Every structure is written in structure tokens, then in C-alpha cells.
Amino acid sequence: MKVTSYLKPQTGGFAFTPENEEKAKGYIARYPEGRQASAVIWLLYLAQKQNGGHLTDEVVEYVAWYLEMAPIRVHEVVSFYTMLYTEPVGEHVIQVCRTTSCWLRGSDEITRACLEATGVERLGGSSADGRFTVVEVECLGACCNAPMFQVGDGDYYEDLTPDSARRVIEALKRGERPAPGSQTGRLSSLNEDGPTTLKDTFPQKAKGTAGGAAGKADKSEGAGDAAG
């Protein structure tokens, strides 16, 4: 029988808070017994948030200990996923998509605008005041509204230009949360020049249909009352 051995994880005293302990148990419970390693990304993300936004070797190895995994397996996961950080990051992490659609639509200019507006000197670096980190990432799934970037855990800012990217950042500096979504006022991923088909929009049709049905219902009830 093959036996794999490894050094005991060096956790450095890190431990989940009671609240995060409950969350961790909930994530593990989503998977079959003995398959707790499947929750590794959940627990790494949870540990990262608790640790101020990044993972140290000790935090990574705590997750390995918690899930009964070889530490190297967890370090491998951390090295692969771009939303897991091994260096301190700013209050606002700006993730500029650089994949094909965004690149063709000017993501290089968006990256430059972000670096200039935040004062970050290099990709992956942070501003001197610790408020911003700027990184480039692969596809974020908003190709129809390229170019775009994500701020923090999930605010997408789409249809960006260098100027609108700077406006978003200036609002963040003021402590505001700029409205996510298209920065041109586009509805979802509608054609920039407006609809080319189904020009009678669905909400109008639905309203008319509902109104018609309601009208018929009212007449039927009225007829019933009259008959009564």
C-alpha cells in the first residue's frame, strides 16, 4: 500500500473566528463525507477575508490542516486562482479584464487609466495609501459589454472608456459606491444603437397582455354580479 506523508502544517496560530467556523462547516457539509477537500476554495476565500484580504503561508496551511489535506495541494490551488492573493492588497482591488473581447475594445487603455488614477506603479501593486490594488485577470464573462473591470467581490463596471474608468475610481476615493453595470447607460447587453429586433419591448407587451387579461376578468366578474 502506498503511503503519502508530509510535514505537519505550520498554522502560525491562525484560526477561524467562531462565525467563520460555522460558515466553514456549512461549506464542507455541501460535499459527501470524506470529500471535504472539495471545499478548499470556499475556505481559502473565507480565510483570506478574515486575514485582511490576503493569504500567508500560515493561513494556507491552516486551511490544509482544517481539511486534512497535504499543504502542497492547497498551495497549488492558491497559486492557480487569481482571486486568491499572497501579498497584501488595497481596500479596493480593481481587476481589469484583458481577454480577447476586452483587449480588442481597449483594455490596455483602461489598465493605464486605472494605474494613473490610483497612483499604483505596477500591475499587482498597491497605492501608497493602501486603498487600491490594480491587477489584470482573464475573462470575467461580460464580453458583450467590453471593456470592463471588477471591483472587490463582485461590482462589474462595463462599457468603460479611460474617462469613465477614472470617474469610477474618483467616486471610490470619495467613499462612494458607483452604480455598477454599463457606464454608458446601456440596458444589460442591448445593442448600443438600440434594439434591432423585437422593438416592442417585452415589458410593454407583458403590461398590455396583463391589462387585457385583467380587463376580461373584470367584465366576467361584472357579468356574474349582474346575473346575480
Please give the model's pTM, rounded to 2 decimal places: 0.75
2 burial via Cβ count (<10 Å: 0-12, 13-18, 19+): exposed
Do 131 and 164 belong to one domain? yes
58 & 134 share domain: no
With respect to residue 59, please indicate whether it lies within any of the assigned structural domains.
yes
Same domain, 74 and 97: no
| Closest of 130, 149, 138 to residue 87, by C-alpha | 130
Is residue 103 domain-shared with residue 123, that is, in the same domain? yes
Residue 173 lies in a domain: yes
pLDDT of residue 7: 65
The residue range of the domain holding 74 is 18-80
Residue 167 burial class via C-beta count within 10 angstroms: exposed 0-12, middle 13-18, buried 19 and up: middle
96 forms beta bridges with 136, 149
β-bridge partners, 68: none
Tally the domains of the chain.
2
3-state secondary structure of 214: helix
Quote the longest CA-to-CA distance of the chain.
87
Check residue 9 and give its pLDDT: 72
The residues, ordered by sequence, that sit 6+ positions from 73 with a Cβ below 8 Å of its Cβ are 37, 40, 64
Q: What would the pLDDT profile of 22-60 be if each residue is shown by its tens digit?
A: 999 999 999 999 999 999 999 999 999 999 999 999 999
Give the model's pLDDT for residue 18. Answer: 96
Question: Which residues in the chain land under pLDDT 70?
Answer: 1-8, 201-228
Instruction: Please report the sign of the dihedral spanned by the C-alpha atoms of residue 22, residue 15, residue 18, residue 130.
Output: negative
pLDDT for res 210: 41
All three cell numbers of 138, joined, read: 482573464
Report how many helices (DSSP H) and strands (DSSP E) the chain contains, helices first: 8, 5
In the chain, which ranges are continuous DSSP H helix? 18-28, 40-50, 57-67, 71-80, 100-104, 107-118, 162-173, 202-227
